[in-house]
């Protein structure tokens, strides 16, 4: 059992080191930490995440002892259970779940419209499980061909399932019925390409704001009926700078176009004659075509070690991370924003990797998914590409168009089948124009949510609770 757990930890360590290596760079460059401290914090995060593959290996070993080789075929259930745990424990960190590996493989990725990303994870794990089952058949080949062939029966079954899914998924993408439904709107995505070091430089603030206004006018001139700026795109706080707010409201009113953008927000308190900040929020504002504030959404899932430090008494040495940005408070409502008689939602930064949150928006009436982010933190690493792929999966799950505005890229438009209609490069200014549609049809996943994932957890628990001795 100890060996199984150790191998699982090793697997998880390799997996998460290879996918989250960039966090060290972020903490050194923008968090004010010394390199050795950043490495330590990142190692702690990787070690924690590696526990989940470790637990997976431990459970599979336990089932193998109790049920024999056939229990290997239950591995996908166990894997999905650990991914579900990773999504929710300690606020969750569901970055790069196994199913995201299939986002570019559109026919296979369509499974997420029924079972969510967890269903795709189970399919990928199922392939490995059946191969492991066949590889662990130690019976002599001289026994009988029929017995030897039986070892490959599960692999043949999963192959048949993949072929069937590929055919169904290809037909679903080809028909693309949702792309003909709903009312169309042309969106303009503004990618300002502001380096993180310049973002809060007072000497650069007016230039950054002017550039965003000019790029917005360019998008409106190209026919954009709705404008989306990235997370924290304003180098000012919108509600606390009347001059900046007036210029932005005037542009929206003159062009009769709604503008969605990110800006920090402060909730104030009064103490005597003084006005003091009570809480900080990472927020998204919508300025309506009449120049008024149409709605405000406050980010609900904050980035650990980026917007707050979890378990501060343990990670006291990481305090400079919060001092370098702000210790943000989390929003408590999935607010929808009104656009042209329809309702849209926005996920801020890595909120888009939470399937249940995006589903909450859709069940509340969101007809268009938007996500705004500032990926300048990541630099020229794999992180911006990981982030974009994960966002694309939400479009398939919910059967919605998704538009994404990122400060330094990747900005883009994804249709309800995961097809990328527009995509920018990283670290380049860009104005992207594209047509999307307001949709109301619900996918199976939108209706049932993560029932499949929870069923996997229940079945895993039952297999553990009711063990039996394997047959000799």
Q: What's the CA gap between 225 and 98, in Å, rounded? A: 37
Cβ atoms < 10 Å from Cβ of 69: 15
Q: What's residue 341's pLDDT? A: 94
299 is catalytic: yes
Q: Both tokens of residue 324?
A: 């370098």
Q: Is residue 307 situated within a structural domain?
A: yes
349 is catalytic: yes
| 183 sits in which H/E element | strand 183-191
Q: What's the CA gap between 87 and 353, in Å, rounded? A: 9
| Domains: count for the chain | 1
What angle do the packed helices 22-30 and 35-67 form, to 10 degrees? 150
Q: Which of 83, 199, 307, 349 is catalytic?
A: 349
456 is catalytic: no
What angle do the packed helices 35-67 and 451-465 form, to 10 degrees? 60
The helix/strand/coil state of 414 is strand
CA 443 to chain centre: 19
Average pLDDT of each block of 10 consecutive residues along the chain (472 residues)?
A: 90 95 84 83 92 96 90 95 94 93 97 98 95 77 53 85 96 94 97 81 85 96 97 86 93 97 88 80 95 95 72 59 65 94 96 96 98 91 96 98 96 97 96 97 97 97 79 43
Q: Is residue 327 situated within a structural domain?
A: yes
Q: Is residue 346 situated within a structural domain?
A: yes
Query: pTM for this structure?
Result: 0.91
Q: Is residue 338 situated within a structural domain?
A: yes
CATH assignment at residue 278: 3.60.110.10
> How many Cα atoms occupy the beta-carbon half-sphere of 340 within 13 Å?
17
Decide if 185 contacts 437 (C-beta within 8 A).
yes
Q: Both tokens of residue 287?
A: 């300025």
Question: CA torsion 73→76→78→84, rounded to 10°?
Answer: -170
Q: Is residue 305 situated within a structural domain?
A: yes
Q: Both tokens of residue 188?
A: 């303009």
Q: What's residue 308's pLDDT? A: 67
Q: Is residue 5 situated within a structural domain?
A: no
- Give the pairing type, strands 259-271 and 226-228: parallel
Q: Which of 83, 199, 299, 389 is catalytic?
A: 299
Range of the domain at 262: 182-440
Q: What's the CA gap between 362 and 344, in Å, rounded? A: 9
Return contacts of 112-116, CB within 8 angstroms, 24+ apart: 112/393, 112/396, 112/397, 112/445, 113/172, 113/396, 113/397, 113/399, 113/443, 113/444, 113/445, 114/443, 114/444, 114/445, 115/445, 115/452, 115/453, 116/355, 116/397, 116/445, 116/449, 116/450, 116/452, 116/453
Phi, psi of 328 (to 5 degrees): -80, 155
Tell me whether the omega of the peptide bond preceding residue 168 falls within 30 degrees of 0, making it cis.
no
Q: Is residue 161 situated within a structural domain?
A: no
Q: What is the DSSP letter of 91?
A: G
The helix/strand/coil state of 263 is strand
Decide if 335 contacts 365 (C-beta within 8 A).
no
Cβ atoms < 10 Å from Cβ of 344: 28
Backbone CA torsion sign across 84, 328, 324, 389: positive
The helix/strand/coil state of 98 is helix
Q: Is residue 140 situated within a structural domain?
A: no
Q: What's the CA gap between 243 and 300, in Å, rounded? A: 29
Q: What is the DSSP letter of 308?
A: B
Among residues 443, 433, 434, 371, which one has the least CA distance to residue 400? 443
CA 357 to chain centre: 10
Q: What's residue 469's pLDDT? A: 55
Cβ atoms < 10 Å from Cβ of 354: 20
């Amino acid at each position: 059992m100890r060996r199984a757990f150790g191998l699982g930890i090793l697997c998880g360590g390799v997996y998460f080191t290879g996918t989250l290596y960039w966090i060290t760079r972020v903490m050194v460059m923008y968090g004010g930490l010394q390199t050795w401290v950043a490495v330590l914090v990142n190692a702690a995060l990787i070690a924690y995440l590696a526990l989940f593959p470790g637990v997976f290996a431990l459970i599979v070993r336990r089932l193998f002892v109790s049920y024999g080789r056939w229990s290997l075929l239950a591995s996908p259930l166990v894997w999905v259970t650990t991914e579900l745990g990773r999504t929710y424990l300690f606020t969750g960190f569901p970055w790069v779940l196994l199913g995201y590996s299939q986002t570019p493989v559109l026919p296979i990725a369509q499974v997420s419209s029924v079972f969510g990303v967890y269903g795709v994870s189970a399919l990928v794990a199922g392939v490995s499980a059946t191969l492991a089952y066949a590889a662990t058949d130690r019976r002599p080949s001289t026994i009988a061909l029929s017995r030897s062939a039986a070892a490959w029966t599960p692999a043949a079954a999963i192959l048949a399932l993949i072929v069937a899914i590929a055919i169904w998924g290809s037909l679903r993408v080809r028909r693309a019925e949702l792309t003909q439904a709903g009312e169309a709107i042309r969106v303009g995505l503004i990618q300002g390409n502001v380096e993180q070091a310049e973002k809060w430089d007072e000497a650069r603030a007016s230039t950054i704001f002017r550039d965003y206004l000019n790029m917005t006018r360019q998008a409106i001139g190209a026919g954009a009926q709705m404008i989306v700026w990235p997370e924290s795109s304003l180098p000012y706080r919108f509600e606390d700078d009347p001059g900046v707010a007036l210029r932005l409201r005037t542009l929206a009113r003159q062009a009769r176009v709604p503008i969605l953008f990110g800006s920090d927000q402060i909730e104030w308190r009064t103490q005597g004659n003084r006005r003091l900040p009570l809480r900080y929020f990472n927020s998204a504002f919508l300025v309506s075509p009449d120049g008024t504030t149409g709605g405000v959404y406050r980010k609900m899932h904050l980035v650990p070690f980026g917007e707050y430090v979890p378990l501060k008494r343990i990670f006291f040495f990481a305090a400079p991370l919060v001092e370098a940005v702000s210790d943000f408070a989390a929003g408590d409502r999935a607010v929808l924003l009104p656009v042209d008689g329809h309702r849209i939602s926005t996920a801020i930064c890595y909120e888009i990797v939470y399937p249940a949150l995006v589903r909450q928006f859709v069940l509340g009436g969101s007809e268009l998914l938007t996500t705004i982010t500032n990926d300048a933190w990541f630099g020229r690493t794999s992180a911006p590409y990981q982030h974009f792929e994960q966002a694309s999966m939400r479009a398939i799950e919910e059967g919605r168009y998704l538009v994404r505005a990122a400060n330094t890229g990747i900005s883009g438009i994804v249709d309800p089948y995961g097809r990328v209609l527009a995509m920018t490069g990283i670290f380049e200014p860009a104005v992207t124009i594209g047509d999307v549609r307001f949709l109301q049809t619900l996918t199976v996943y939108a209706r049932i949510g993560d029932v499949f994932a929870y069923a996997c957890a229940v079945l895993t628990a039952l297999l553990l609770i009711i063990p039996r001795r394997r047959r000799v």
